[in-house]
Amino acid sequence: MEISEVIKGRRSVRKYAAQPLEDGVVEELLDAARWAPSWANLQCTRFIVVRDKSTKERLVEAMSPRNPARNAVAGAPVVVVFVGKIDASGHKDGRPVDDKAWYMFDVGLAMQNFCLAGHAKGLGTVIVGSFDYGKAGEIVNVPEGYQVVAFTPLGYPEGESKAPPRKEMSELVFHEKM
Ligand SMILES: Cc1cc2nc3c(=O)[nH]c(=O)nc-3n(C[C@H](O)[C@H](O)[C@H](O)COP(=O)(O)O)c2cc1C
């Protein structure tokens, strides 16, 4: 697949087939994720692979009641939780260099690599960001100094997901000044 095909063809998938994943595929996607760029190459992202049904169900409970990805998280063969180390990215000599939460940026880049690599292999994902972070952290045993940023189900999509439209380039792109 051409890179533009991978980028534009990836969709948020909220319905998964029962088909299990082949051995080694999750590791292959996590390898793509760990090759994402990161602040000073500190690699602050951690990945928790969840296969246990009851853990998935507990993660669903941590999600907002109207989150449209609830069934996807409950039903996909695997859920991967993306965790950020809070005090590494964007820090120098133990202090934040500015008031931006750079670990969020690093985790986002890793997650996009994961989702795109998954799509290139015919697998679906949906980034889930709307949930109780504290609760999710307890469920997957995230220690102090780390924060669950987002998670995604992973599996073979059932049916097609329609692409939500994008804004026109003319609304988004500026030249020289905004
Ligand atoms: C940071 C972030 C958080 C998101 N959180 C959720 C979520 O909690 N539930 C959900 O169903 N989709 C969630 N999404 C998916 C977006 O709704 C989706 O990416 C957007 O509608 C564009 O659709 P597409 O991914 O198919 O291109 C999230 C996406 C991002 C980037």
Q: pLDDT, tens digit, for every residue of 66-82?
A: 999 999 999 999 999 99
| Residue 127 CA to ligand 1 centre (angstroms) | 5
Ordered structural domains, the chain, with CATH: 3-158 (3.40.109.10)
Which residue out of 127, 130, 133, 148 has the highest number of ligand 1 atoms within 8 Å of its CB and is therefore the one to mutate?
127
Q: pLDDT, tens digit, for every residue of 28-66?
A: 999 999 999 999 999 999 999 999 999 999 999 999 999
CA within 13 Å, CB half, 25: 18
Calculate mean pLDDT across residues 2-20. 97
- Residues with C-beta less than 6 Å from any ligand 1 atom: 11-12, 14, 67-69, 126-130, 161, 163-164
